[in-house]
Amino acid sequence: MKISIQGIPGSFHHQVALQYFGEDSDVLGYKTFEEVAKSVRTGESQFGVMAIENSIAGAILPNYELIDRYSLHIFEEFYLPISHNLMCLPDQKIEDLKVVRSHPMALLQCKKFFQEHPSITLVDDVDTATVAKRIKDEKLAGVGAIASSVAAEIYQLKVLAKDIQTVENNFTRFILLQKDKSVPTSIPNKASIKVTISNERGSLAKLLTQMSDLELNLSKIQSIPVIENPWNYSFFIDTQFTDYNQYLKAIESIIKSGGEVKVFGEYQSGK
């Protein structure tokens, strides 16, 4: 069983893969989320792990588009508490750092900390752990990484500051992907769907009313452009419910009133 992630050992994706699938899992690391999506689609791996939103930095919008374009199936979600640490070579001090590199989502989560260190330039990089590894392998002085304490341990870096995310209570929601739909082991209480409705007055209000009338709670709604049809939008919706039949009725009623629905996954809420 192979699991695709973006990143290397010590990255948050790697931690989710090990926590969910077990410490002995065969994890394949890629540099981009697109490569992860492709590997699940082509069957190079059976499962993929993909961050989709963070409680401080918000959604990773391009990942919604990847799930759609590669027609992947979400079978589970996983919330990981995220603690970021500033780290560097053992002989360095914070005053020595000119540049701090990390995954763009990690940099966003630590914006406030770096406002107090304006002389440090922040630079986007592939993932948190890859930067930590590069600092160690290339003995990079003057460069810091933002990464997990696991990464600091693996790559033997000194932690200069712990818990540097803007608020301590920080979570990233990951989704677990596979190529085909599988039969859920328990009755789902959450679903991720894409709805495309006509661009006319009241159509979104109607959609929301249909869902609310059937007691569906929207935990997320995100508009994304329909690229073949400029200035028209689809909506990625995460919805929670207690009655699966009510959810099925809502889907039916959206379709009856002219909406197009693509179901990405029906699963148990991970919260």
Ligand X SMILES: O=C(O)C(=O)C[C@]1(C(=O)O)C=C[C@@H](O)C=C1
DSSP 70-118: TT-EEEEEEEEE---EEEE-TT--GGG-SEEEE-HHHHHHTHHHHHT-T
| Cβ neighbours around 228 below 10 Å, total | 6
User: Do 93 and 161 contact (CB within 8 A), yes or no?
Assistant: no
# residues near ligand X by CB under 6 A = 14
Query: Is residue 101 involved in binding ligand X (CB under 6 A)?
Result: no
The minimum distance between CB 97 and ligand X, in angstroms, equals 19
CA 63 to chain centre: 7
User: Do 219 and 262 contact (CB within 8 A), yes or no?
Assistant: no
* Cα distance between residue 263 and residue 154, in whole Å: 39
Segment near ligand X (CB under 6 A), from 10-18, 152-160, 182-190, 249-257?
10-18
Query: Is residue 70 involved in binding ligand X (CB under 6 A)?
Result: no
Compute φ and ψ for 219, nearest 5 degrees: -90, -15
For ligand X, give the closer residue by CB, 32 or 209.
32
- Of residues 67, 97, 129, 193, which one binds ligand X by CB under 6 A? 129
Query: Is residue 74 involved in binding ligand X (CB under 6 A)?
Result: no
Segment near ligand X (CB under 6 A), from 36-44, 127-135, 178-186, 243-251?
127-135
The minimum distance between CB 172 and ligand X, in angstroms, equals 4
Q: Which residues face 77 on adjacent strands?
A: 175
Segment near ligand X (CB under 6 A), from 19-27, 124-132, 134-142, 228-236?
124-132
User: Do 3 and 28 contact (CB within 8 A), yes or no?
Assistant: yes
For ligand X, give the closer residue by CB, 147 or 214.
147
- Of residues 37, 66, 72, 106, which one binds ligand X by CB under 6 A? 106
Query: Is residue 190 involved in binding ligand X (CB under 6 A)?
Result: no
- Of residues 11, 39, 85, 234, which one binds ligand X by CB under 6 A? 11
For ligand X, give the closer residue by CB, 145 or 195.
145
DSSP 112-166: HHHHT-TTSEEEE-S-HHHHHHHHHHTT-TTEEEEE-HHHHHHTT-EEEES--SS
The minimum distance between CB 102 and ligand X, in angstroms, equals 7
Least Cα distance to 82 among 165, 175, 10 occurs for 165
Query: Is residue 48 involved in binding ligand X (CB under 6 A)?
Result: no
Query: Is residue 13 involved in binding ligand X (CB under 6 A)?
Result: yes
User: Do 218 and 211 contact (CB within 8 A), yes or no?
Assistant: yes
For ligand X, give the closer residue by CB, 113 or 241.
113
Query: Is residue 105 involved in binding ligand X (CB under 6 A)?
Result: yes
The minimum distance between CB 105 and ligand X, in angstroms, equals 3
* Cα distance between residue 263 and residue 182, in whole Å: 13
Query: Which residues sit at the interface with ligand X, rule CB under 6 A?
Result: 7, 11-13, 51, 54, 82, 103, 105-106, 127-129, 172
